[in-house]
Amino acid sequence: MLALQLPFGLAFAWGTVAPDALRQGWTPALTGAVFSFTPLGYGLGTVLGGRLGDRLPPRRLCAAALALLVAGQAAAFAHPSGATFVTGYGFLALGVGGGLALTGAVAAMGRAFPHRRGAAAGAVTATYAGASILEAPVVSALVPALGWSHALAAVAAATALLALAGLAGSPSLPRSQAGSASTAPSLTDLISRPLLWTGFAVVFAGNTFGPVAAVDVGVAADARGLGGAVATAAVVLVAAGNTVARLIGGWVSDRLGVDRPMAAVLGLELAGAALLPPAGSAAPFLAGALVGGLALGGAGLVGRIAAEAAPDASSTAFGLIFAGYALAALCSPLAVAAIGLPAGWEVAAAPALVGAALLAVRGRLRRRAGEASAGGPG
């Protein structure tokens, strides 16, 4: 199931080719839309996949994800344009398809490791993010010979074949017990749970800076004259930080809970904005890219947040909460494209302050729930 995440990691490699697209006449808003429409589709895919993940075997979801991936990328690469890349490549293939692949894989790993749901979800999302550590340099190396769209197509085809092989070799797991139970909670009941909707909100607040770093560090390095090597290194550092944070965050959340690691994510957002000044040498710029990637890795905490909010429907809760992460990844790059850099870095980090207040609210909710449970009936 981990191999299934490889072709969807190309979402983070977009920052490598965005400067080439700009040189061909694409606008900053359009290059930002390709990245931002991926999380729009991803959010829809995770909500749908999360609900289906409590009802269907994981392999069915994963097979549907690969079908959407192939269909969307085929349309984009056959007729490369802003419209086909935004809708086919970004929204359908890497977005909706990626959301289904994520929830299908998380459901499978959660059933295989029921007492380590945070670590299991973190491993899946880390594989997704880590794929671009290799994919971004390969795409960049192929661009001079093939052009940016053909370079993406070559890497997309290779990773799709690996994912297909991984799916073919994966074990067949049954559907969730929650999906067949007559007492399974409704969507209305889940959304009304305070730990779920505050989880959605704090995940949104913790993911406004990272997506801007992912989509804009390459363009920002190019605009500042730091060179193509620094631009590629910045994209890879975002991906590396993202991968490490997702993997460690999932593991830590199983042991310490989610509030402390989420507070660290919010702090990283503010630190990243401070490290990406409008001018200066490559060193602070690359440090800011790494910090932005670490902040983006807050996705690794969603599995444990979902398990705490709805242990009786964890796949559905995962999809709903991850939609907050995806919504932030949609909105923040578009907002920064309208504002422009470097002012956009500070704007992208500002929601972290709201996130800190939300963490305090969640702490009170958890204490009240504990007191009510300790008091018992009557």
Q: Which residue, chain included where needed, has tokens 């085929």?
A: 74
Residue 130 lies in a domain: yes
State what percent of residues in the chain have pLDDT above 90: 39
Global pTM? 0.79
pLDDT per residue over 263-308, tens digit each?
A: 999 999 999 999 886 767 889 999 999 999 999 999 889 988 998 8
Residue 339 sits in a domain of what CATH number?
A: 1.20.1250.20
Q: What is the pLDDT of residue 203?
A: 96
For residues 176 and 90, what is the distance between their CA atoms, to the nearest angstrom? 30
Asked whether residue 326 carries a pLDDT value surpassing 60, the answer given is: yes
Domain that holds residue 60: 3-168+206-363
pLDDT per residue over 121-143, tens digit each?
A: 888 888 887 887 788 889 989 99
Sign of the Cα torsion 348, 123, 244, 5 reads negative
C-alpha distances in Å from residue 376, one per residue of 116, 364, 370, 371: 28, 19, 10, 9
Q: Which residue, chain included where needed, has tokens 């904005």?
A: 273
Q: Is 137 in contact with 58 (CB distance < 8 Å)?
A: no
Sign of the Cα torsion 66, 72, 76, 78 reads positive
Residue 261 lies in a domain: yes
pLDDT band at 173 (very low <50, low <70, confident <90, very high): low
Most confident of 33-37, 67-71, 234-238, 374-378: 67-71
Residue type, 116: R
Q: What is the mean pLDDT of residues 82-110?
A: 90
Asked whether residue 374 carries a pLDDT value surpassing 60, the answer given is: no
For residues 120 and 111, what is the distance between their CA atoms, to the nearest angstrom? 10
Q: What is the pLDDT of residue 9?
A: 86
Q: What is the pLDDT of residue 116?
A: 78
pLDDT per residue over 55-76, tens digit each?
A: 778 888 899 999 999 999 999 9
C-alpha distances in Å from residue 354, one per residue of 95, 194, 201, 225: 27, 17, 9, 35
Q: What is the pLDDT of residue 212?
A: 92
Residue 179 lies in a domain: no
Asked whether residue 183 carries a pLDDT value surpassing 70, the answer given is: no
Q: What is the pLDDT of residue 349?
A: 96
Residue 233 lies in a domain: yes
Asked whether residue 100 carries a pLDDT value surpassing 60, the answer given is: yes
State what percent of residues in the chain have pLDDT above 70: 93
Q: What is the pLDDT of residue 378?
A: 42
Q: What is the pLDDT of residue 174?
A: 58
Helix residue ranges, H only, 14-147: 14-23, 28-53, 58-78, 82-84, 97-112, 117-146
Report the chain's mean pLDDT, rounded to a whole number.
Answer: 86
For residues 181 and 159, what is the distance between their CA atoms, to the nearest angstrom? 37
Q: What is the pLDDT of residue 213?
A: 92
For residues 193 and 130, what is the distance between their CA atoms, to the nearest angstrom? 33
Q: Is 195 in contact with 208 (CB distance < 8 Å)?
A: no
Sign of the Cα torsion 311, 313, 319, 321 reads negative
Domain count, the chain: 1
Q: What is the pLDDT of residue 69?
A: 96
Q: What is the mean pLDDT of residues 198-214?
A: 94
Asked whether residue 176 carries a pLDDT value surpassing 60, the answer given is: no
Asked whether residue 355 carries a pLDDT value surpassing 80, the answer given is: yes
C-alpha distances in Å from residue 28, one per residue of 32, 132, 272, 281: 6, 22, 21, 24
For residues 147 and 126, what is the distance between their CA atoms, to the nearest angstrom? 29
pLDDT band at 320 (very low <50, low <70, confident <90, very high): very high
Helix residue ranges, H only, 147-227: 148-168, 177-180, 187-191, 194-205, 210-223
Residue 182 lies in a domain: no
Residue 178 lies in a domain: no
Residue 187 lies in a domain: no
Residue 177 lies in a domain: no
